[in-house]
């Protein structure tokens, strides 16, 4: 399987952290990874558009030659291929809860914070837009507030004692804000504590560049 990534970007980081966590648990995923250079526009080059017509990353070429280009679909495919140990949890209830938290981290934090970064200080050189930035900031702040409350019970990781896909997703989002010096967790002390602790993991150190 061939996995294509972009450095520092939220969705590729989510998948790269998932791969690092799964590998650290002893699973050999058998991935050949290629990192594209966004500053050279490699994600919009004809070779990549042939894999993924949206010209985005991550993209995974799977066993039958198909290309999968939604980060969660990539993770679910790898979970289906390598179900144990699971990065969702061991019971239907644990899996439902961790999927719920992951969706909140993705839909309510990663997506709006990614758009916010592009509206304020885009690494791809997009025009700043204050109105869009304000709207997206309010949106991801609500997501962070929820996660901050969730962590108030002292759990070390987002779904409890064990690492899950949710941790990978939230850290992918926060790293992108750090990259553009826009991360501000002052109002979310539990998220700040979780993030500092997560970043001490060897898996995180092997992936995160900001």
Ligand X SMILES: N[C@@H](CCC(=O)N[C@@H](CS)C(=O)NCC(=O)O)C(=O)O
Identify whether the C-beta of residue 169 lies closer than 8 Å to the C-beta of residue 16: no
User: In angstroms, what is the minimal distance from the CB of 43 to ligand X?
Assistant: 5
User: In angstroms, what is the minimal distance from the CB of 152 to ligand X?
Assistant: 28
To the nearest 10°, the Cα dihedral for 155, 204, 139, 143? -10
> In the complex, which residues of this chain contact ligand X (CB under 6 A)?
6, 9-12, 38, 43, 55-58, 70-71, 114
User: In angstroms, what is the minimal distance from the CB of 133 to ligand X?
Assistant: 17
Smaller CB distance to ligand X: residue 123 or 156?
123
Smaller CB distance to ligand X: residue 24 or 126?
126
Smaller CB distance to ligand X: residue 13 or 141?
13
Smaller CB distance to ligand X: residue 70 or 183?
70
User: In angstroms, what is the minimal distance from the CB of 12 to ligand X?
Assistant: 6
Smaller CB distance to ligand X: residue 179 or 198?
179
User: In angstroms, what is the minimal distance from the CB of 144 to ligand X?
Assistant: 18
CA distances from 10 to 84, 85, 103, 154, 189 (A): 25, 24, 14, 26, 21
User: In angstroms, what is the minimal distance from the CB of 111 to ligand X?
Assistant: 8
Tokens found for residue 132: 């869009």
Smaller CB distance to ligand X: residue 58 or 89?
58
Tokens found for residue 188: 């979310």
Q: Which residue has the tokens 């941790």?
A: 167
Tokens found for residue 161: 């004692």
Distant-in-sequence, close-in-space partners of 9: CB < 8 Å, separation ≥ 6: 38, 57, 176
């Amino acid at each position: 399987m061939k996995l294509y990534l972009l450095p520092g970007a939220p969705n590729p980081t989510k998948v790269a952290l998932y791969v690092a966590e799964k590998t650290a648990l002893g699973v050999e995923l058998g991935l050949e990874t290629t990192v594209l250079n966004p500053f050279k526009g490699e994600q919009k080059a004809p070779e990549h558009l042939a894999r993924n017509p949206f010209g985005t990353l991550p993209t995974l070429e799977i066993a039958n030659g198909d290309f999968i280009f939604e980060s969660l679909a990539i993770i679910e495919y790898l979970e289906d291929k390598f179900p144990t140990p699971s990065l969702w949890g061991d019971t239907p209830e644990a899996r439902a809860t961790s999927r719920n938290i992951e969706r909140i981290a993705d839909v309510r934090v990663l997506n709006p914070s990614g758009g916010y970064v592009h509206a304020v200080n885009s690494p791809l050189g997009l025009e700043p837009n204050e109105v869009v930035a304000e709207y997206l900031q309010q949106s991801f702040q609500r997501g962070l507030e929820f996660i901050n409350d969730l962590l108030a019970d002292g759990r070390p990781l987002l779904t409890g004692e064990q690492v899950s896909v949710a941790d990978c997703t939230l850290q992918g989002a926060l790293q992108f804000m750090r990259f553009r010096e826009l991360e501000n967790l002052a109002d979310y002390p539990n998220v700040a504590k979780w993030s500092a602790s997560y970043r001490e993991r060897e898996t995180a150190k092997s992936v995160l560049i900001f």
